Amino acid sequence: MHVETFLPAFIMFAVLGLVLPVILSNLSMAGRLMPEDDTATDTPAASGAASVYDQIGGAAAVDAAVDVFYRRVLADAYVNRFFQGVDMEKQAAKQKAFLTMVMGGPHNYTGKDMREGHRHLVKMGLDGTHFDHILMHLRATLAELGVPENLIQTIIGVAESTRDDVLDR
């Protein structure tokens, strides 16, 4: 749930020298989550090699990240109007699913989901700058939790790949 559960798991992997080779093998998996691949429901974790999700501590790490991420997003006056009137518990579950997806964990997000789930926000004016803010909060969250730069870049690359679906274009 908290950072303490997250850092030891990462440090253990880093000390074992497993980080780089696993990232390299995971980069190709990130490609499965590209928006045009609407049928991507496969889980990298189930396919053998460790995903970024596993490397940073799995569900516990995602829970910690959701708390930090959500706090940052809601404190950002440029984007928080898109969360007005939203059921906070449902939203936390969605954020968890989103973070699990971008970290390569088990999920069933599709490009179609991303597109339909944000269409009402696009009608409210959601654009590339708001998407940039969300990416920024994700980077800041991961940095705050001690995730190394190369894993941050992998995760941001997956999040970036959802831009056109989220913005319905």
Partner 1 sequence: MSTVYEQLGGEAAINAAVDVFYRKVLGDHYVNRFFAGVDMEKQAAKQKGFLTMVTGGPNNYTGKDMREGHRHLVKMGLNDAHFDHILCHLRSTLAELGVAQELIDTVISVAESTRDDVLDR
Rounded distance, CA 29 to CA 66, Å? 23
Rounded distance, CA 37 to CA 39, Å? 5
Q: Which is nearer to partner 1, 84 or 129 (CB)?
A: 129
- Listed residue (142, 9, 158) closest to 64, CA to CA: 142
Q: DSSP letters of 65-112?
A: HHHHHHHHHHT-TTTGGGGTT--HHHHHHHHHHHHHHHTT-S----HH
Q: Taking the complex as a whole, how short is the minimal distance between the CB of residue 79 and partner 1, in angstroms? A: 8
Q: Which is nearer to partner 1, 116 or 127 (CB)?
A: 127
Q: Which is nearer to partner 1, 32 or 133 (CB)?
A: 133
Q: Site for partner 1 (CB under 8 A): which residue of 15, 46, 77, 85?
A: 77
Q: Which of residues 93-152 bind partner 1 (CB under 8 A)?
A: 129, 132-133, 135-136, 139-140, 142-144, 152
Rounded distance, CA 105 to CA 58, Å? 7
Q: Which is nearer to partner 1, 78 or 108 (CB)?
A: 78
Is 76 a residue that touches partner 1 (CB under 8 A)? yes
Q: Which stretch binds partner 1 (CB under 8 A): 15-23, 34-42, 72-80, 93-101?
A: 72-80
Rounded distance, CA 44 to CA 114, Å? 19
Q: Which is nearer to partner 1, 37 or 144 (CB)?
A: 144
54 and 45 Cβ atoms separated by less than 8 Å: yes
Spatial neighbors of 20 by CB under 8 A, at least 6 apart, are 150
Q: Taking the complex as a whole, how short is the minimal distance between the CB of residue 145 and partner 1, in angstroms? A: 8
The residues binding partner 1 (CB under 8 A) are 76-79, 129, 132-133, 135-136, 139-140, 142-144, 152, 156
